[in-house]
Structure 1
Amino acid sequence: MDRSMKRKLEVLMEDEMRTILLHQWTLFSYVEAGKISEKEWLDRIKEMNKRTERVCDDRLTPFQAEEGNAVERIHIVFSESTKGSLQLALNQKETREEVIAFSSMYSIGPIQDLDKEEGIGKRKEWLFYHLVMDDEQWVHMVEDSLKTIENLRSIPGGVPITIWAGTNAHEQTGLRFVMHLLKNKPNEMDTVQVTDVLEFPLHTGELSPERFVRLLERSQSRPVSVECMKTYLDEWRALSEENANLRVWDKGIQSTTEDYFDATLIQSLKRLQDESDKEDYMKAARLIGEVLGHSSQVVGDSFFEYRVRELVLQGEFLIRGVPRGMRYYEVKWKPQQDV
């Protein structure tokens, strides 16, 4: 099977594949029973093949202009929740504007060759061995990532592109990755640096559809100049070459070691135990929620949960329960004299 046919088949749903197969079996049974001729059978198969290819082509190039219904602008965001809120806001406009979401957490995990199947595979492997993830999300990570990249590259050249990002390592790294993917596109591009506009939100996922409506009305986007694009590309090249497993925001994106938050986790657990009536085990979910609530970084609760498990393995924390998820076990700081 050639690669183009394989890509087309991959965009079909399982129930659609079953329907096509059932239809072919039914037609073949009609030929055997003498209900239709072989020529009629072949003509129907050809017609079904044409319809299927049209559906696949539409899905592989979702932003191609349709008569009277052309996409007027594409927005790019870095979480599914942000996509949902922004799309609701855009639906209130009289224009047709669509949203693409890059939903991976770019502040954590390897990012080298992230536009290639091999690089995505290595990132998937790191996530599998370090984070507790939803099976469905993990299994389809490579194909979903490649599909999102393909959607981005299929944007017609005349459609303007707006990229939304907050001041955090996740979205700023994602912004530079997207610029890398768009570097040869002739499209007009601009960015909305949400934290600069609204001051408080670390992440665009914190914005409601109503806040997006007001931002769209105020038109706070900044055009991406040639010099700015070069800076983004240089920074992406440096980040991907460093290929660290953790990136934080400190007046810019900083690659750092995975134990960056360990001291904060230890101090937070000690404080929670001191504030408790009895120095007992603490739900891992409570500890992680406490650190997340006071952190100015966007790395996701799964990364903090990974570091809690590492601190257990290092003997810093005692554990009670099975660590199949942060809700299922408790931890306690282990005083140095007990070691």
Structure 2
Amino acid sequence: MIENLREMIDGLTEKEAKTLLYHIFLRVNLVEETQYSQEQFFTDVSEIYKRILNYKANQMHNEENGLHKKVHIIFGDSASGCLRAALKGLGVNQEEKVITFSSLFSIGPVWQLHTEEGRKERKEWFTKHFRYSEEDATHYIQCFQNALGEISSIPSDVPITIWTGENAHEQTGLRFVLYLLNEKANDITVINATKAHAAYFNQAELTYTVLHTGEIVPEKLQAIYEKSRLNQLLSLQDRKRLAEEWLRLADTNEVLRIWKNGYVQSITEEWFDPHVIQAAQELHSKQKKKDFVKAARVIGEALGSLEQYVGDEFLEYRLRMLIGQNVFEAVGSLEAMRYYSVRLR
């Protein structure tokens, strides 16, 4: 119920949220300045709560059962937000649905992720190593389950566009989703947004490397989509090949993946440790005396040196592991990167 409430609140428009607050504040004022009782206040607010829940439930039901002309599947919340804005700019946001996987597929276990057992293992790993609260972990798995349910509910006659990029996160997600769609007969198109960005927007005198779709502004994503409308459908052979590649990934136990030479490669979790150490060395070199440096600054420096997309949470996890191995010493609380500083021993 709490998850449904969170989803309902997230789905409120600004006008709906302001109207709800107005009615609640109005009744608080009536309690303080009139004979309006607290019992009546509770009754009225409960009624408002029920009406809002029913309204949003009906709205979501209508959206889910609406006649969408196309479904987009995308990986990452930032990429999803940019795509939604791009579709709105094109005036097709009401007829083209977006399904989002928020999870970062380049990190964490993906062993048997297409099964409940695999999803449980992934949740437990993130809870243990990224210090997720039980509420965060439950919300994470609920969002994942919602995306799975939305994919299984796609009508067979609705074309699907899957957005990907030149990185292990989106390429792993692409293979995972194609495995899920293995039994569906829908037409499927794939848009490699980062590759398209390089082709359409990079110039000889100005080259900007985009690591993932979430780094592309909506205006450019809109242009990429318009230019990609005539992309060829993904062939049955490619669909089968990529789904099989997913099964190979789903048999691995590594918790880190990179994109190299056109393949997703599973590697040891220590792979990027040298980048973290080098970032600290460079920061120390700018000091008169080697002193403690904010952990967030070390992570930021290391992240900027990578040609792979793994996110700051993973690098911060590795920094804590290096502290435990006595590579770094730390002062402050390790509860979050903003609370502590580190120094190479």
**Residue in 1 that maps onto 2:281:** 270
CA distance in structure 1 between the aligned counterparts of 2:313 and 2:224, rounded to whole angstroms: 30
**Residue in 2 that maps onto 1:170:** 169
Q: 2:251 is matched with which residue: 214, 235, 241?
A: 241
Residue 11 of structure 1, CA deviation: 7.6
CA contact (8 A) 2:127 2:133 kept: no
- Structure 2 unaligned regions, length at least 5: 9-49, 199-208
Taking the TM superposition and a 5 Å limit, the aligned residue runs for 1:39-188 are 59=60, 62-65=63-66, 70-95=67-92, 96-133=95-132, 136-188=135-187
Q: Which amino acid aligns with 1:152?
A: I
**Residue in 2 that maps onto 1:296:** 307
CA distance in structure 2 between the aligned counterparts of 1:266 and 1:205, rounded to whole angstroms: 27
Residue aligned with 1:197, SS: helix
Residue aligned with 1:241, SS: coil
Residue 296 of structure 1, CA deviation: 0.7
- Structure 1 unaligned regions, length at least 5: 1-8, 17-47, 335-339
Residue 133 of structure 1, CA deviation: 3.8
CA distance in structure 2 between the aligned counterparts of 1:135 and 1:329, rounded to whole angstroms: 24
CA distance in structure 2 between the aligned counterparts of 1:94 and 1:57, rounded to whole angstroms: 24
Residue 149 of structure 1, CA deviation: 0.2
Q: Which amino acid aligns with 2:245?
A: E
Q: Which amino acid aligns with 1:174?
A: G
CA distance in structure 2 between the aligned counterparts of 1:240 and 1:106, rounded to whole angstroms: 12
**Residue in 2 that maps onto 1:193:** 192
Q: Which amino acid aligns with 1:298?
A: Y
Q: Size of the alignment, in residue pairs?
A: 288
Residues 114-155 of structure 1 show CA distances to partners (whole Å, capped at 9, x for unaligned) of 233322111011011111446643232222211110011111
Structure 1 residue runs of 4+, over 4 Å off? Answer: 9-12, 54-62
Q: 1:311 is matched with which residue: 297, 322, 325?
A: 322
TM-score of the pair, normalised by structure 2: 0.77
Residue aligned with 1:108, SS: coil
Residues 1-37 of structure 1 show CA distances to partners (whole Å, capped at 9, x for unaligned) of xxxxxxxx79843899xxxxxxxxxxxxxxxxxxxxx
Alpha-carbon RMSD: 2.5
Residue 269 of structure 1, CA deviation: 0.9
CA contact (8 A) 1:11 1:56 kept: no
Identical residues among aligned pairs (%): 39
CA distance in structure 1 between the aligned counterparts of 2:181 and 2:266, rounded to whole angstroms: 23
**Residue in 1 that maps onto 2:220:** 211
Q: Which amino acid aligns with 1:250?
A: K
Call closer, same or farther: CA 1:140–1:72 in 2, change over 3 Å.
same
**Residue in 1 that maps onto 2:5:** 13
Residues 85-136 of structure 1 show CA distances to partners (whole Å, capped at 9, x for unaligned) of 1111111334311211101011111112223332211101101111144664
Which structure is larger by alpha-carbon Rg, 1 or 2? 1
Residue aligned with 2:89, SS: coil
Comparing 117-126 and 89-98, the one that deviates more: 89-98
CA contact (8 A) 2:104 2:169 kept: yes
CA distance in structure 1 between the aligned counterparts of 2:328 and 2:127, rounded to whole angstroms: 23
TM-score of the pair, normalised by structure 1: 0.79
CA distance in structure 2 between the aligned counterparts of 1:15 and 1:166, rounded to whole angstroms: 28
CA distance in structure 1 between the aligned counterparts of 2:286 and 2:56, rounded to whole angstroms: 60
Q: 1:285 is matched with which residue: 296, 306, 314?
A: 296
Residue 84 of structure 1, CA deviation: 1.2
Q: 1:250 is matched with which residue: 233, 255, 260?
A: 260
**Residue in 2 that maps onto 1:224:** 234
